[in-house]
Structure 1
Amino acid sequence: MADTITLYDQATAILRTLVGREDARFHDGQFEAIQALVEGGRRALVVQRTGWGKSAVYFVASLLLRSRGAGPTLIVSPLLALMRDQVAAAARAGVRAEAINSANQTEWQEVTARLEANQVDVLLVSPERLNNPAFRERQLPELIRRTGLLVIDEAHCISDWGHDFRPDYRRLRDLIGTLPQGVPVLATTATANTRVVHDVEEQLGTGGTEVFTLRGRLSRDSLRLGVLRLPSPRSRLAWLLTHLGDLPGSGIIYTLTVSAAEDTARLLRENGHPVRAYTGRTDPADREAAEAALKNNEVKALIATSALGMGFDKPDLGFVVHLGAPSSPVAYYQQVGRAGRGTPSADVLLLPGPEDRDIWEYFATASMPSEHAAQRVLAALEPGTVLSTPALEARVNLKRSPLELLLKVLDVDGAVRKVTGGWESTGQPWGYDADRYTRIQQARVAEQRSMLDYENTSGCRMEFLAHALDDPTAAPCGRCDNCAGRWYSDEVNHDASDNAAQALSRVGVELEPRGQWPSGMDKLGVPVKGKLKPDEVSAPGRSLARMTDLGWGTQLRTLLADTTPDAPLEPGVIEACIKVLAQWNWEARPVAVVAMPSRRHHQLIGSLAQALAGVGRIPYLGTLGTPNGWPEGGPGGNSAFRLASVWDRFQVPAEGPAWFAANPGPVLLVDDLADSRWTLTVAGRALRQAGAEAVLPFALALRA
């Protein structure tokens, strides 16, 4: 008993440092989980609602284990936003935490050195990092040998049945099996029904090890839930324009697609609402800035996809609105759980649309590996062959995202292996598990039906969600629109409706300028940091369309394909570009046109730039020079390295400064394809430094 009291006192002292309150006490179950890990060396699964304090369990346990001579804690964490919050929370408790992820590549060497010097208490890694060849072969074995505690955060991702299934998480079962005897394991999640719990327990309990499972009440008393049905995308956007200012505090507006998030954010900003978009396409530095802006209440809302989900921590988040419903009540519960964690009340409203089901079907199909596609990949990876993902993409006729997902599945199944330079076959036989994928597909169809039931229920909405998570304490909340009546208006302002209609019919896509340099650029020989200076940044630009658009996207993909010969643009494409420029409400008309240099699309870009100059009756100043060599690299990759590959590669002709001095005004900068936007950013900076009053980027296409 004395030992237990001593452990409790030690744990309580750490908890109070963590939360910054001398009167802090453990929630029900927190100390029991800590005790199971520290004294029992057990494998534990904690299923508790958001805001309960799961991170407190593993941070307190980590320090207690470290004080007993254990090695560092390894936390597998799925999202960069989650890692940033966890590192900040760890520092408050005196935990020396580091992260290794795609956003801090320039810091990996220092982190490794601190690990080797035993100066790290907690290391956070993404599940994808565990399969990085260099990390897997050089660092992971020693890290596993020394690990004092393994934590699997958002553990529902382990399960085939989890709402956010990620193939990389499936290899954690093998990782658990490699741990030294007696190393405790903690899996945590807020969104697991009974089927997911049993699946995770089975994977934690390798070798017949008993799993200690702690499940708590999942209902959230602070949330006021509602569902508002409106007839069209136009009316839903108009409702947002009319009522966003009425919602309490600051919050998150979720959309189902990246395009919807970006278009909605643009519409709201143009109508005076301080918002930012946050998607899987958002650069890591811009994501971090957006998270900080929301936490500091500098914006009314982030318009986000599911990229902003698990682990984002803003205790006073006042509302969550969904433009379109997630495909399951469990996924919906996880996202709305961001709100009201530290406040007595928060508003949660769902605006479903008839197109939701088509989007669900698309993503459900995209996440399932195709047997035919898998066999094509395996056939391309002949014995002794190593192929990069782009090389495979060209051989098997698969787009990048589904190909990468398929490779992960084949990797976890043991059929392929990620190595330096790409992928190789393991030579092991592989069979398509049709029964398994059929069961998963059937489960997801059932979840979709359940989501529709949530939208249409006349009963308590919180009770419905709690039942979906198999919470035995589920009961009416007394707060939702079905329990207490509608708390929201369905009225839409007429001007807001017109503005929404114009947004949906708009030609062209906004090209947002870069405003923040990636961190760690000095380590790559690029002398920049922080924000771009006002005299370096380009103005917001435009593109004809996204490469993924249903309309122009097909033609643009053909025009810009590697197999399409370079040639001047056809009149129809140029006319469409002119229409985009005609609707571009720039502050001042451009005084000149400049073209980006291109090895592959020299005629294409030149013909477009000259045509735009001719229509506008303004000078065409030619193409930027490349005296230091052509830009290196290609699409994809870390933002810091993308910037380094184009840095100092563009030069304004010698007569440029004198011309700009004599002809003040904006310059239209024309390119073929905008991807990371660092090429346009660096070229625009060169023009600004040469004296251009402003730079207006225009790209024929925007990737994705």
Structure 2
Amino acid sequence: MTPDQFPGQPSTTFDGTAFEAATFDGAAASDAVADAGSTRAQALVVLRKLVGRADADFHDGQFEAIEALVDGGRRALVVQRTGWGKSAVYFVSSLLLRARGAGPTLIVSPLLALMRDQVAAAERAGVRAMAINSANATEWDLVSRALAADEVDVLLVSPERLTNPSFRENQLPTLIRRTGLLVIDEAHCISDWGHDFRPDYRRIADLIAQLPPSVPVLATTATANSRVVADIEEQLGAGVFTIRGPLARKSLRLGVLRLADSRDRLGWLLTHLAELPGSGIIYTLTVSAAEDTARLLAEAGHEVKAYTGRTDTMERESLEEALKNNQVKALVATSALGMGFDKPDLGFVIHLGAPSSPVAYYQQVGRAGRGSANADVLLLPGSEDADIWQYFATASMPSAEKASTVLETLGQAGKPMSTPALEARVDLRRTPLELLLKVLAVDGAVRRVSGGWESTGVPWTYDSQRYERIAQARVDEQQSMIEYERMAGCRMEYLAAALDDSTAAPCGRCDSCAGRWFPTDIGTGAVAAASESLSHAGLPIDPRTLWPTGMDRLGVPVKGKIKAEEQVAPGRVLARLTDLGWGNALRSIFAAGAVDGPVDPAMVQAVVAVLRDWGQARWAGQGRPVAVVSMPSRTKPELVRSLAQAMCGIGQLPYLGELSLDFGGPSGQRGGNSAYRLAGVWDRIVVGPELASAVSSYGRGPVLLIDDLVDSRWTLTVAGRALRLAGVDQVLPLVLAQAG
């Protein structure tokens, strides 16, 4: 939740425009509060000074929440739509409690962008606010001094900061003793039913348990159905005062446009982006889709930028400001731009591909129309959506086997282990390993200490029923999203009902209620431009240069840098599996159960185009390849061999043969970490006698190494090393698809 619109006229917001002149005087407010009499009168004084309007009044439920906190010292949950004024509740409550001698408010906030907006809004309101998070941890001394001098009204912390050993042991106890109000913003992150579930948020229950009983607690969210509400109430403890309001957004005009493929969706954007009101956000499901779409639109002359999880923190701030100041028409973003971004006059939200649930969709479309009467929201679903949903759903779920391995490893270590050290012994990549450790920490089985992680010795059992419920809930939510796309009824009513809003009713504005409000034509030139962009192929494959740490523990005798004479050269891949263009065709080739077969002629021509562009870049400085070698494949041998033979025929190059693979060893399947991925292929990819003979007689020069799918790059690294040791001058990897 970002600083929301306060009561009064629509222009009275915390966006730094209409509010800028209304600077809050904390001392004057304290005097006015002392003279105001009743809590309501006092709260109204603070509210009107905050918004700079003498006629401002509370929305339904706002004062009731303030009263529960300030007079009752209660634990309250506020579930209200974006724009209702949840931040008014905690800012007014904070200042009233401060005027009564309470300590500063502690706000747990999930995103850096959200913290930036909250601090800026507080400062404009005269509320003294500071933040401590991963981006400014070095400033804790400054924050600590300000707290000691009682110069902080509101302190924002990230949930991850609460688990930091130094912060937890040295600063948190003092904070807990002084806290006058605890606020849990975006509280749906507490719930494992929530679409933004954050394991660290579940630790807040421990934080609440440490607070004196007299300290009030407020949890706020705009996206919670009944299951999530029940989970949050359980985390808050007994006697929770819950306020739920209507969630329908009257300012939004919803619509769905189903088009044949990615080409038509991009063509529609090229044709109509300039006509959309104001500036807005174009959401995609993957990083590659965001980057590809932004590139296409920018090349067509539109002022757009990509915003993803790969975007640098400083650049994110710059992009957010550019959108707020209408310096760009749109940011093409993944879900990285969601909670925490506040632009009250955001004119539109477009989705290229549907989020996996109505709740997640409601969260993202809620960025628009927060301080304006109208905003347009259009969903352009894609045929690939379900595959992407499935990938992300399964990637984040912990398994009993992996959890047991982590606990056993930590138990045997007898001392704290860093995440990299643990990664070298457990077959999990860094991100899912960190997620699993957080889940285990919340359950009390491990704890983060100085030097890494250690076992607590507390018995732990995998809650299979819980994870089965979560998995089934995700399936149900995905089906609900498909129903939203295809339904004939009111779309806003459906979204509100999906959040268990009992007041859900037809909006009268969406394409189902009022008829299609958006154009459906696609310009011929736009289709051609989209087709050309989607047919664009070729991405670099950077070579591995370092061996993973801890390989000796897995029986692999390597460490440090990979010798230059054993490395492969930079390579090329046709496309990612998640790409909008060739990604669609490649996903069908590598789908579960897909039959092996020769490479499609059109795909061959695309690979030739990649080679042509690569050649113009002088083959990474290595010179033109003089021969071709192919990788062995468990599942796609005909695909790989046919591609290798096609490259030989077109390039008039000799085919030296295929590397040999011992199929009896570990599988090296996708999903493991680098150490285990390398161990899975080490000494299993070899240059057999026939290939060795061909290599010795082929002459000098680089060799193309053909493969079907690259993920961790360790298979290519080991294969290339074997060829280099057999006498090949240089190895140039050429691959059809890249995972992720």
Q: Report if TM-score (shorter chain) is over 0.5.
A: yes
Moved more, 432-441 or 103-112: 103-112
Q: Distance in 2 between matches of 1:12 and 1:61?
A: 11
Residue matched to 1:177: 209
Q: Which amino acid aligns with 1:439?
A: R
Matched, 1:228 2:226: no
| Cα distance change of structure 1 residues 456 and 101 upon mapping to structure 2, 3 Å threshold | same
Q: Tell me whether 1:500 sits opposite 2:498 in the alignment.
A: no
Q: Choose the corresponding residue for 1:154, options 186, 199, 211.
A: 186
Matches within 5 A, 1:181-330: 181-205=213-237, 209-330=238-359
Tell me the amino acid that sits aligned with residue 219 of structure 1. A
Alignment gaps of 5+ in structure 1 = 510-543, 548-555, 594-606, 613-699
Shift of 1:608: 4.1
Counterpart in 2 of 1:99? 131
Residue 97 of structure 1 contacts residue 123 of structure 1 at CA under 8 Å; is this kept in 2?
yes
The Cα of 1:569 is off from its aligned counterpart by 5.6
Q: Distance in 2 between matches of 1:90 and 1:70?
A: 18
Is residue 489–residue 512 contact of structure 2 (8 Å, CA) maintained in 1? yes
The answer to whether the Cα contact below 8 Å between 1:371 and 1:432 also exists between their aligned partners in 2 is yes
Distance 1:324 1:346 in 2: 19
Deviation track 1:573-595 (CA, whole Å, cap 9, x = no partner) reads 3899997696599xxx99xx9xx
Q: How does 1:483-522 map to 2 (within 5 A)?
A: 483-509=513-539
Shift of 1:102: 1.7
- 3-state secondary structure, aligned to 1:396: coil
Letter matched to residue 243 of structure 1:
H
- The alignment partner of 2:571 has SS state of helix
- What is the DSSP-based 3-state SS (H/G/I as helix, E as strand, rest coil) of the residue aligned with 1:491? coil
Q: Which residue of 1 aligns with 2:496?
A: 466
- Residue number in structure 1 paired with 2:16: none
Inter-partner Cα distance in structure 1 for 2:427 and 2:415: 18
Deviation at 1:702, TM superposition (A): 12
Match for residue 144 of structure 1? 176
Distance in 2 of aligned mates of 1:54 and 1:142: 27
Q: Shift in Å at residue 26 of structure 1?
A: 1.4
Secondary structure of residue in 2 paired with 1:276: strand
**Structure 1 residues 565 and 434, CA gap change in structure 2 (3 angstroms):** farther
Distance 1:475 1:305 in 2: 30
Structure 1 residues 422-461: aligned runs within 5 Å: 422-461=452-491
> Which residue is 1:355 aligned to?
384
Task: Tell me, in whole angstroms, the C-alpha distance in 2 between the residues paired with 1:572 and 1:213.
Answer: 58
How far apart in 1 are the matches of 2:570 and 2:621? 15
Paired residue secondary structure (2:82): coil
Report what 2:399 is aligned to. 370
Q: Is the contact made by 2:447 and 2:456 (CA closer than 8 Å) also made in structure 1?
A: yes
CA change 1:508–1:96 in 2 (3 A) is farther
Distance in 1 (CA, whole Å) between partners of 2:521 and 2:573 is: 39
Give the aligned residue type for 1:430.
Answer: W
Is this contact kept in 2: 1:18–1:90, CA < 8 A?
A: no
Tell me the alpha carbon deviations over residues 614-660 of structure 1, each in whole angstroms, 9 at most, x when there is no partner. Answer: xxxxxxxxxxxxxxxxxxxxxxxxxxxxxxxxxxxxxxxxxxxxxxx
Indicate which of 441, 447, 455 corresponds to 1:417: 447
Q: Cα distance, 1:316 vs. partner?
A: 0.4
Where does residue 727 of structure 2 map in the other structure? none
Cα distance in 2 for partners of 1:105, 1:508 equals 40
The CA distance in 1 between the partners of 2:78 and 2:171, in whole Å, is 28
The answer (yes or no) to whether the contact 2:570–2:620 under 8 Å persists in 1 is: no
| Bigger radius of gyration among the two | 2
Is the Cα–Cα contact under 8 Å of residues 105 and 155 in structure 2 kept in the other structure?
yes
1:696 matched to which residue of 2? none
User: Which string of whole-angstrom CA distances, capped at 9 and with x for unpartnered residues, describes residues 19-54 of structure 1?
Assistant: 333332211111111111111101000000000010
Q: Separation in 1 of the partners of 2:105 and 2:220?
A: 15
Distance, in Å, in 2 between the alignment partners of 1:92 and 1:383 is 51
Q: 1:565 to 1:443 in 2, by over 3 A?
A: same
Deviation at 1:383, TM superposition (A): 4.2
In structure 2, C-alpha distance between the alignment counterparts of 1:210 and 1:360, rounded to whole Å: 37
Aligned pairs for 1:505-544 (under 5 A) are 505-509=535-539, 544=540
C-alpha separation between the residues in 1 aligned to 2:42 and 2:621? Answer: 69
What is the alpha-carbon distance in structure 2 between the residues aligned to residue 50 and residue 574 of structure 1? 45
Closer/same/farther in 2, CA of residues 386 and 493 from structure 1, 3 Å limit: same
Bigger CA drift: 472-481 or 564-573? Answer: 564-573
Structure 2 SS opposite 1:443: helix
* CA distance in 2: counterparts of 1:23 and 1:331, whole angstroms: 36
Task: Pick the aligned partner of 1:135 from 150, 157, 167.
Answer: 167
Residue in structure 1 matched with residue 597 of structure 2 by the alignment: none
CA gap 1:583/1:561 in 2 versus in 1, 3 angstroms: farther
Letter of the structure 1 residue corresponding to residue 248 of structure 2:
S
Residue 283 to residue 436, structure 1, CA distance change in 2 (3 Å): same
Distance 1:248 1:344 in 2: 12
Is 1:85 the counterpart of 2:83? The answer is no
- Per the TM alignment, residue 57 of structure 1 is displaced from its structure 2 partner at its CA by 0.6
- The change in CA–CA distance for 1:575 and 1:471 in structure 2 (over 3 A counts) is closer
Counterparts of 1:436 and 1:399, CA distance in 2: 23
| Change beyond 3 A, Cα 1:573–1:196 | closer
Q: Which amino acid aligns with 1:333?
A: Y
Residue deviations 1:73-131 (CA, integer Å, cap 9, x gap)? 11011111111111111112211101111222332221122122221111111111110
Contact persistence 1:574–1:611 (CA under 8 A): no
Letter aligned with residue 393 of structure 2: A
Q: Which amino acid aligns with 1:501?
A: S
Q: Residues 383 and 427 of structure 1 are in contact (CA less than 8 Å); yes or no, is this contact kept in structure 2?
A: no
1:48 aligns with 2:48: no
**Which amino acid in structure 1 is aligned with residue 436 of structure 2?**
L
Q: Counterparts of 1:702 and 1:561 in 2: how far apart (Å)?
A: 21
Q: Secondary structure at the match of 2:229?
A: helix
Mean Cα deviation higher: 212-221 or 497-506: 497-506
Q: How many residues align?
A: 555
Question: 1:702 and 1:17 mapped to 2: Cα distance?
Answer: 56
Query: How far apart are the structure 1 equivalents of 2:58 and 2:364?
Result: 25
Name the CA distance, whole Å, in 1 between partners of 2:613 and 2:274: 28
Q: Is residue 205–residue 235 contact of structure 2 (8 Å, CA) maintained in 1?
A: yes
Change (3 A) 1:560 1:477: farther
